[in-house]
Amino acid sequence: MIIDIHGHYTTEPQALHTFRDKQLAGLADSARKPGSTDLGISDEVLVKSVEPQLKFQKERGGDLTIFSPRAGGMAHHVGTEAVSIEWTTICNDLIHRICTLLPDSFVSVGQLPQFPGVSPKNCIPELERIVTKLGFVGVNLNPDPSGGYWTDPPLIDRHWYPIYEKLCELEVPAMIHVSSSCNPNFHHTGAHYINGDTTAFMQLIQGNLFKDFPTLKFVIPHGGGAVPFHWGRYRGLAQDMKRPPLTEYLLKNVFFDTCVYHLPGIELLTKVIPVDNILFASEMVGAVKGIDPQTGHYYDDTKRYVDQVKNLGEKDLHKIFEGNARRVYPRLDKLLAKRGR
C-alpha cells in the first residue's frame, strides 16, 4: 500500500475563496462580512475539485493521501483570533466532507486556529472536535503563526505544552508546517517553508522536549528542510551542547517526509536519515507543479525517486511507503485495520 502523508487541498472551489475575501474585507467594513458560513458547495463540486489529485494518485501508483487544508491558506497572521477560528472550522469541515465522500483515496488531517501571541491552548476545542468527532488522524502545527516574523516562543517553550499534552492524549502526531509569509524577505514555499522545517529541528536540539513528552510525534516535511544536507552540523552542535546522539535524542519522536523534488536529494535523505524515520509524501498539486525538463516527469512525482534509490530493499520500501505512516499515525492504522486494509 502506498500512503502519501502530505497532501493539501489546493484546488478548492471558488466559493471558498470568495468567502475568505469577504471575511477579510469585513475586518475593515463590517457590512462586507459574509452573511453565512454556508458556502453552498455541493458534494458533486467537491468531488470534481479533487479530480487532479485523484488522477495523479492513480497514474503514480498511490493508494491513499493524508489530506489537509492548503498550508499557505492557513494564514494565521491575518485578522483576529475569531477570524482564524471561523476560517479553520470551515476549512476542516471541507476536508472532512471530501474524505467522507472519497474514503478510499483520502484521510483527514486538520489545521488549528492559531493566532500570533495567543496560547495554543485555545486550539484544543477544535483539535478535540476534528479528532474525536470527525475522525481526523493528525494536525498541522504552525511554529510561526506570525507569518515569517517568528514572534511566538520556540517549540520547546512551555507556551506550547497544552497542545502537546492534548496531542499525546489523543495519540495524534503533528506535522510542523508553517503557512504563508508576510515578510518580503522570505518567499513562502521557497524560503519560509524550508526555514520553518530547519528552525523547528534546531529548536528541538536546543531543548529537551521529549523528556516531558516521550510519546509526542512530529513530522518535519519537505525532507526536513536543510537538516539532512547539514546532518554533520547538527550532530556537531548537539555534541557541543552535551546532548546525546541525535538518533537517541530526537529520532524516536521526529520523522521526515519525502517531499524532495529530485533524485539526488532523496538519495541523500535515505543515506543520512534512518529508514525508520522516513515517510513517503509528495505534496502533489502543491508548491512545485511543473514538469522537470531533465526527466520529462513532474517534479513532485516523488515515488519515482524513491523507487530508484538503489540502497533501499523491499523491507525498507515497505516502511517508507506504508509501515512508518501506520506507526506514526496510530489513528490511521486503526482506521485502515477497521476497513480491512
Going by the DSSP 8-state scheme, the letter that residue 60 receives in this structure is: T
Fold of 3-338: TIM Barrel (3.20.20)
- Ranges of H-type helices in the chain: 14-25, 43-49, 51-59, 71-74, 81-101, 124-128, 161-170, 193-206, 209-212, 231-240, 246-249, 263-272, 302-308, 314-318, 324-328, 330-338
Q: What pLDDT is recorded for position 29?
A: 87
Per-residue pLDDT tens listing for the chain (341 residues) = 999 999 999 999 999 999 999 999 998 888 888 888 889 999 999 999 999 999 999 999 999 999 999 999 999 999 999 999 999 999 999 999 999 999 999 999 999 999 999 999 999 999 999 999 999 999 999 999 999 999 999 999 999 999 999 999 999 999 999 999 999 999 999 999 999 999 999 999 999 999 999 999 999 999 999 999 999 999 999 999 999 999 999 999 999 999 999 999 999 999 999 999 999 999 999 899 999 999 999 999 999 999 999 999 999 999 999 999 999 999 999 999 999 99
Place of cell 512525482: 301
Rounded CA-CA distance 68/10 in Å is 9
Q: What pLDDT is recorded for position 33?
A: 86
For the chain, give the longest Cα–Cα distance.
61
Residue 300 — φ and ψ, nearest 5°? -85, 15
Rounded CA-CA distance 62/84 in Å is 33
Rounded CA-CA distance 119/152 in Å is 9
The residues that are catalytic are 283
Q: C-alpha cell of 248?
A: 537517541
- Spatial neighbors of 205 by CB under 8 A, at least 6 apart, are 234, 237, 238, 241, 243, 246, 249, 250
- b vs e for 301-324, b when ≥16 Cβ sit within 10 Å of the residue's Cβ? bbbebbeebeebeeebbebbbbbb
Rounded CA-CA distance 5/292 in Å is 23
Q: What pLDDT is recorded for position 36?
A: 83
Q: What pLDDT is recorded for position 331?
A: 98
Q: C-alpha cell of 146?
A: 506570525
Q: Is the dihedral of CA 226, 227, 230, 236 positive or negative?
A: positive
Q: Which of these, 108, 190, 112, lies nearest to 148 by C-alpha position?
A: 190
Q: C-alpha cell of 22?
A: 469577504
- pTM for this entry: 0.96
Q: C-alpha cell of 269?
A: 535523505
Q: C-alpha cell of 221?
A: 516535511
Q: Which of these, 76, 73, 61, 67, lies nearest to 101 by C-alpha position?
A: 67
Query: In the chain, where are the structural domains located?
Result: 3-338
SS3 107: strand
What are the C-alpha distances in Å from 121 to residues 16, 139, 162, 208?
Answer: 27, 14, 5, 20
Q: C-alpha cell of 341?
A: 486494509
The answer to whether the CB of 296 falls within 8 A of the CB of 96 is: no
